Amino acid sequence: MTSDDGVLQLTDLTREFVREVVLPLDDAFDGDIAAAGGDELRKDLQAQARERGVFGAHIPVEYGGHGLNLSHRAAVFEEAGYSLFGALAVNAAAPDEGNVHLLEQVASPEQRQQFLAPLARGEIRSAFAMTEPNPGAGSDPTMLRTQAERASGGWRISGRKAFITGADGASFMIVMARTSGEPGTPGGATMFLSTVDAPGLEVGRHIPTMDRSMLGGHCEVTFDNLFVPDDGVLGNVDEGFRHAQVRLGPARMTHVMRWLGAARRAHGVAVAATAAREGFGTRLSELGMVQQMIADNEIDLAATRALLMEACRELDAGGHASMSTSIAKVFAAEALYRVADRAAQLCGGLGVSADLPVARILRELRPFRVYDGPSEVHRWSIARRAVRAIGESGR
């Protein structure tokens, strides 16, 4: 589907599905996916999404999706993100959505058949295992310490990971491990595909975090002499960091799309509340300070959408879009949190209660300033690129 009319129709259908089917469950369980039913809920919602024709906007047509590029899927994902469970319902939640894109671009035909096809159809879930506990890979991926060593017919992997989203209940993982070099040096990383039930791979505890809408939690994972055969190497040996860029830029933008929908809902609830409530001799929406917060929210939402679309167009054209995706990610993470924070303030006591969705949206949005690279790291990267560009151009 590439026509504007087709995308608009899918956007409308997604909006109806999310508001009629998904949102009531989100509200009933305060955005807590485990309390709402976990993986059984996912399967049920995805079955209903297929029936309504809104499953997998991003998934290649050959695997049962709509095959939309980033620019076309932006509005669809925003509507899905209007509910905290919406992306999961249409099989567009992290980390599966990003892993679908990575496997489509990098995996061998055999790997696509074994891993991509069932993931795209929603039959299984996945995880992306890169982040490690200190002093390993985190904001600085070159600190990667998980080690992969050559063995007869494959590789042996040992190390520890942390904050691995969706690991509990995943069927397979994409594992980043060092195959050459030392921690702190660029290069030398390789991606591996491993089923989660393989000997030597153990999913540990859920790390308690403030967000509750991510299925499978954020887990510790241990690799103890895990064997991965040669055909389990994803892409090329020692080129894992380069392959990761295939995933990270687009995944950051799809995060922006989803959280844009959530922030928009918080804003809409707040505007309705101020228009309905009276105080100080008038409706709250007529007060100057309230109007300023409403206007600032509108500005942040519009600016986020504009930066998002600029980055998506660059990615769709085949560009690396490193600068534009970093700018969009940082601005969105902070602007959308401001939107939810103002919304909570506008709603008063109800804004920090579970009686309205605003508090839980605020809760879920806050980690986005850390996930997919902290704002400070992106700012450092943006500044370096800006300085380099000026130096190369001479002006």
Structure confidence at residue 360 (pLDDT):
98
pLDDT digits (tens, 9 = 90+) for 337-362: 999 999 999 999 999 999 999 999 99
Percent of the chain past pLDDT 70, that is, above it, reads 99
Q: Over the range 65-92, which residues count as b (16 or more CB within 10 Å of their CB) and which as e?
A: bbbbbbbbbbbbbbbbbbbbbbbbbbbb
**pLDDT level of residue 257 (50, 70, 90 thresholds):** very high
Would you say 225 and 151 are in contact if contact means Cβ atoms under 8 Å apart?
no
Query: How far is it, in rounded angstroms, from Cα 128 to Cα 363?
Result: 23
Query: Please, what is the end-to-end C-alpha distance for the chain in angstroms?
Result: 43
3-state secondary structure of 231: helix
126-238 topology per CATH: Butyryl-CoA Dehydrogenase, subunit A; domain 2 (2.40.110)
Q: What is the pLDDT of residue 214?
A: 96
d(CA 336, CA 302): 11
- Per domain, the residue ranges of the chain are 4-93, 126-238, 241-393
Per-residue pLDDT of 189-221, as tens digits, reads: 999 999 999 999 999 999 999 999 999 999 999
Which pLDDT does position 328 carry in this prediction? 98
In sequence order, what are the residues at sequence separation of 6 or more whose Cβ sits closer than 8 angstroms to the Cβ of residue 323? 382, 385
Report the C-alpha gap between 295 and 314 in whole angstroms: 29
* Alpha helices, H only, 277-374: 288-316, 322-347, 358-365
Q: 360-386, pLDDT tens digit by residue?
A: 999 999 999 999 999 999 999 999 999
241-393: in CATH 3.30.9.10: no
State the pLDDT at residue 4.
85
Sequence-ordered list of residues with C-beta below 8 angstroms from that of 201, at least 6 positions apart, any chain? 173, 194, 221, 222, 223, 226
Tell me the sheet residues that pair with 147. 158, 178
Q: What is the mean pLDDT of the chain?
A: 96
**Each residue's pLDDT tens digit, 216-226:** 999 999 999 99
Confidence tier at 391 by pLDDT (50, 70, 90):
confident
Q: Within a 10 A sphere around the Cβ of 116, how many other Cβ atoms? A: 23
Q: pLDDT-derived band of residue 395, with 50, 70 and 90 as boundaries?
A: low
Are the beta carbons of 264 and 83 closer than 8 angstroms?
no
Rounded CA-CA distance 172/156 in Å is 17
Average pLDDT over residues 319-334: 97
Predicted local confidence at residue 394, as pLDDT: 62
Which of 2, 103, 21, 111 lies closest to 61 in space, CA to CA? 2
**CATH 2.40.50.140 is the classification of domain 4-93:** no
pTM as predicted: 0.95
pLDDT (0 to 100) of residue 392: 75
Flag whether pLDDT at 1 surpasses 60.
no
Count of other CB atoms within 10 angstroms of residue 392: 8
Tell me which residue has tokens 């109806």: 16
Residue 2 pLDDT > 70, yes or no?
A: no
> How far is Cα 84 from Cα 255, in angstroms, rounded to an integer?
12
**In Å, what is the CA distance from 89 to each residue of 80, 148, 177, 227?**
8, 36, 31, 34
What is the DSSP pairing of strand 233-234 with strand 147-151?
unpaired
* pLDDT at residue 3, as a whole number: 77
Residue written as token pair 């809104």: 54
The model's pLDDT over 270-280, given as tens digits with 9 standing for 90+, comes to 999 999 999 99
Which pLDDT score, from 0 to 100, does residue 271 have? 98
* C-alpha to C-alpha distance for 102 and 277, rounded to whole angstroms: 48
The stretch 276-295 carries a mean pLDDT of 96
Please compute the mean of the pLDDT values over residues 129-144 and round it to a whole number: 96
3-state SS string over 112-165?
HHHHHHHHHCCCCCEEEECCCCCCCCCCCHHHCCCEEEEECCEEEEEEEEEEEE
In sequence order, what DSSP letters do the residues of 353-365 get, joined into one string? STTSSHHHHHHHH
Look at residues 114, 128, 133 and name the one whose alpha carbon lies nearest to residue 192. 128
Strands 201-206 and 218-229: antiparallel
